[in-house]
Structure 1
Amino acid sequence: MKTLLPCLLLSLTAVISAAEPIGSYSREIFSDDFAKDGFGKRWGHYKSGSLVKDGVLTGITPEGSDHSAVDNVVIEPERDLQISVKFRYVSDKAKSFNLWFDDKGYKESHAGHICNVNVSPKAVNIGDAKTGNFRNDIYAKKKTPEGLSVEDKEMLKSKNKSFPVTLSLEDWHTLVVVTRGDEIFVSIDGKAVGSFKSEGINHDSKTLISLTTNAVDVQYDDFSIKAPKK
């Protein structure tokens, strides 16, 4: 039994680290069940044609727009957060959506992007935007004729991690994303999808949480933002 105990503890640690972090994210910062038609006062938007009707938020990128529809909520600065949202892909026109954590006061990355989770019917991608794709110099290089160097591309491989999933169209799913220090944990429908560690995630003043719809036909419900107890 003594020799088995370390192995059992090691297995338990592996299971815990693969799931959402243990701890209380019970301090509610914001929630919306979209019960009333129209966006509430705290919602902001960028190049969005999204609407709230019949109990759901429908993400809509206007035709001809050069940017996916962004619908966001400003919060007081927090490092660690838990975001929960129900979602469904209404049709195969829905490509994916992003859950963004930003700091609008941070000037060293494009648009203050810190980190994000992209969810498509076939994959979940977790990214460190602050020190990766949206770091100012990297973002600028991508727009030049020369583009990124081999070294840049190698560096960026360490700033994103992808996990395969299979999500049915038209059915509702529940996404829960937790940031804890330099790590993001993702679960869908109560099952751990995966986690990713990167230094940029540890940014201590996340102030804007956004849903970005790529491009249409994603619906959302029961959106909430929580933080650990103080």
Structure 2
Amino acid sequence: MSAPRPCVLLIEDEPAQREVLCYNLEAEGYRVVQAQSGDEGLLLLDEEMPDLIVLDWMLPGVSGIEVCRQIKMRLETRATPVIMLSARSEEVDRVRGFETGADDYVVKPYSVNELMARVRAQLRRTRAAATGARLMFEDIVLDSETHKVTRAGAEVKLGPTEFRLLSNFMEKPGRVWSRDQLLDRVWGRDVYVDTRTVDVHVGRLRKALTGAGGSDPVRTVRGAGYALS
């Protein structure tokens, strides 16, 4: 089973722009979730747990600036990259966007190819495992390209599901993931798996990691889920 596609939350109120962006993002291989307003975008943020957000500044109701501010205030989403789209090209507007927390700022009209390149660049930074990078957490090293994991230099034998679980944990150490969120990220939303299956595979991951030496790095958060910490 391959890893689920990265999810992009597209918050854009103009239908034509939204259609073009959705088409190109899906052509790049991303799963796209669309919102037509800031309020809808904030609701989808909790439901979909996107890997990246493309956010228009001028939105009905809650503005893009306010949406960005709320995203960056939340502990669980502050690391999610935000690319802000705006017709405002003045330096003061760019500065305001970045100071609010935007990770990138693209002025309309823009080149779709350039925007896709910026999306890829942001995802490379935040989803390192998806790009063949090496991830490290304390004495654990995960090499996505060779599909190998070591702990304190000793190889850790993991099944494909446990490898994807560990990749997800290591991309955002300290973040608490619910069982439903892990099902979406590791198994994919199109596959039906009981939430108890998550517990089974987390148990296997723990056994493999502790068997290689050291304490259990996976923390159970009662009533919430699991975290690497």
Class of the TM-score when normalised by the shorter of the 2 chains: under 0.3
State the TM-score, normalizing by the size of structure 2.
Answer: 0.24
The structure with the largest strand share of the pair is 1
> Which structure is higher in RCO with an 8 Å CA cutoff and minimum separation 6?
1
The structure with the largest helix share of the pair is 2
